[in-house]
Amino acid sequence: MDPKILTLYVIPDRRQGAPRSILEQTAAALEGGATAIQLRDKELSARELTDLASRMTEMCRKKGAKLFVNDRLDVALAAGADGCHLGQSDLPLAAARKLAPRPFLLGRSARTVEQARVALEEGADYLGVGAVYPTGTKDDASVIGVEGLKAVVEFTSLPVVAIGGIGSSSVREVMATGASGVAVVSAVVGTPDPTASAVELLKLMIKP
Amino acid sequence: MDPKILTLYVIPDRRQGAPRSILEQTAAALEGGATAIQLRDKELSARELTDLASRMTEMCRKKGAKLFVNDRLDVALAAGADGCHLGQSDLPLAAARKLAPRPFLLGRSARTVEQARVALEEGADYLGVGAVYPTGTKDDASVIGVEGLKAVVEFTSLPVVAIGGIGSSSVREVMATGASGVAVVSAVVGTPDPTASAVELLKLMIKP
C-alpha cells in the first residue's frame, strides 16, 4: 500500500471528541488534511456501525482519504470501507486476509518485532505500533516508547503508523524513527479546533 | 436449507449455563441430540470467539449438527462455521448475503410478517421468530405469543425456529404452529442435566 495513506490517521472518539459526533469529528479531521480515518466504537450495533462506516467511507473518498473499521471485518466489508484494523485480540489475521483479499487493506497492531514478523507473514498491509507514549485512550495500552517504535520500524518492511499519546510536541521525534505517519485521537478530535490541529500536525511532519 | 437443522437449536450461555463452560454446554446438548448450536457471547474478543467457534464447529460436525455464530459474520467465516444468525440490529442482511454466499447459512430474527418478508427478499435461509413467551435471557425481548409466531410461520416460505421462553411444557404448542423447531437457552443449558433435557424436548416434539 501507499504509505502516504498513514501520514495522519485520525480516530474519532465519542467521549474525547464530545460534543462533536463521530461524523462531525471525521469531517473536521478530513478538512484539516487527515489521510485516513478509523471508525472505532464498541457501543454501536453492527447495523449502526455499518451505516456510519458507509457514510464515513463516502466522506473519505471525496477527500482522497481512506476509511478503516476497527475490529469488525464484516462491517468494513459490508460498508465498502477501504480497510480494517485488527488488534492482537481481534480476528486471526491470516483468516481475515482470506476473507478480504487485496486491494482491501488490513492493518495489524504490533508492539514487538516478533508481532511485526508474524503480521507480515499473515498478510498485513501496515502495522499500528505503540503505545509510543502513555495515553488515556486505552487502559491496557502498554508503552513501548520511541525506542520500541524504532525497533519495529527498523525491522519491518511494512509501513508503520505510530500510535499512543502522540501530539504536536512529539510528532517530529516520532517521524524521525522512519514511521510513515501518526495515528491520533485526542491530539486532533480532543482539541477545540480539530481542523486546525490536523493542519498543525501535518505542518510539523514536513521535514524542514 | 434442510429445516431439520432447526429442530433443536441450543444456545449455550455463560451465565445461565454456569458452572458449565460454553464448550461443556455444547457437548452436553449435542449428546442429547441438539441439531444446531449457536455461539452467542458479547464478552469474548473476536480472537477468542473465533477459536471457540472453530472448536464448536468441529464438535457439531462430528454429531451431524450445525454451528451458527451470533452477530459476527467475520468470526463465523473465519472459524469455518456453518452459518451466522443476524438480529435486526446486526449486519444488514443483503450485505451479509453478498459476503457469505450459500451454502453458508444465514438466519435472521423476525418478529413480524413484514420483517419475515424482507428477510426472505434479502437472502435469509431461516427465521428466528419470537419471543414466543417471556424470557429472562434478553431484556428487550418483546413477546409476540404463539399467535404472533403462527402469523409469521403461516406467512413465510422460510423455515422458522421459534425462540423465547420455550420449554417442555410449551414445546408441543409451539410445534403445532408449523415451526420447524425450537431455539432454547435455559430449557437445556440451565437445567441440572442438559443432555437429558435435550432428549426430553426432542421426545415431546415427535408427534404422537
pLDDT at site B180? 98
Q: Is A18 left (phi over 0), alpha (psi -120 to 50) or beta?
A: beta
A40: annotated active-site residue: yes
Query: Of B76, B87, B138, B136, whose CA–CA distance to B111 is shortest?
Result: B87
Is B96 in contact with A89 (Cβ distance < 8 A)? no
Region of residue B104 (left: phi > 0; alpha: psi -120 to 50; beta: else): beta
Q: Which one, of A171, A130, A185, A181, lies nearest residue A152 by Cα?
A: A130
pLDDT at A135: 84
Closest alpha carbon to A8 in A189, A192, A193, A191: A189
Which whole number is the average pLDDT over B93-110?
Answer: 98
Give the H or E element holding residue A10. strand A8-10
What pLDDT was estimated at residue B43? 94
- Would you list the DSSP string of A79-110? HT-SEEEE-TTSS-HHHHHHHS-TTSEEEEE-
Which stretches of chain A score pLDDT less than 50? none
Are A89 and B45 inside 8 Å of each other by CB? yes
CB contact under 8 A, A47 and B78: no
Q: CA angle, corner B181, sides to B179 and B184, nearest 5?
A: 125
DSSP 8-state symbol, A151: H
Q: Evaluate if residue B140 carries a pLDDT over 70.
A: no
pLDDT in tens, A189-198: 999 999 999 9
Cα gap B79→A92, rounded to integer Å: 10
A47 in a labelled binding site = no
The answer to whether the CB atoms of A71 and B46 lie below 8 A apart is yes
Q: What is the pLDDT of residue B10?
A: 98
Inter-chain contact A89–B50, Cβ cutoff 8 Å? Answer: no
Distance CA(A113)–CA(A129), nearest Å, equals 10
- Which residues in chain B have Cβ-Cβ distances shorter than 8 Å to A45? 89-90
- Secondary structure class of B163 (helix, strand, coil): strand
Residue-level pLDDT at A69: 98
Residue B138 has pLDDT above 80, yes or no: no
Query: Which residues does A170 contact at the CB level (< 8 Å), separation at least 6?
Result: A132, A133
**Superfamily of domain covering B3-205:** Aldolase class I (3.20.20.70)
Catalytic residue among A98, A138, A172, A203: A138
Q: pLDDT tens digit string along B25-77? A: 999 999 999 999 999 999 999 999 999 999 999 999 999 999 999 999 999 99
Is B42 assigned to a binding site?
yes
Grid coordinates representing B203 are 421426545
Q: A80 vs chain B: nearest CA distance in angstroms?
A: 10
Q: How far apart are the CA of B83 and the nearest CA of chain A, in angstroms? A: 14
- How many angstroms separate the CA of residue B44 from the nearest CA in chain A? 9
Of A45, A95, A99, the CB nearest to B90: A45
- Give catalytic residue positions of B: 40, 109, 138
Q: In B, which residues are within 8 Å of A77 by CB distance?
A: 74, 95, 99
Q: Which of A72, A89, A99 sits opposite B77 (nearest CB)?
A: A99
Q: Which residue of A has its CA nearest to B92?
A: A47
Within 13 Å and on the Cβ side, how many CA atoms surround B104? 20
User: How many whole angstroms separate alpha carbon A39 and alpha carbon A59?
Assistant: 13
Burial A133-148 (b: 16+ CB within 10 A, else e): bebebeeebeebebeb
Please name every residue paired with A67 in a beta bridge, in sequence order, or none if there are none: A37
Residue B109 assigned to a binding site? yes
Q: Which residue, B138, B74, A50, is CA-closest to B128?
A: B138
Q: A169 labelled as ligand-binding?
A: no
pLDDT at B137 over 80: no
Q: How far does the CA of residue A76 sit from the closest CA of chain B (Å)?
A: 10
Please report residues of A whose CB lies closer than 8 A to that of B98: 78
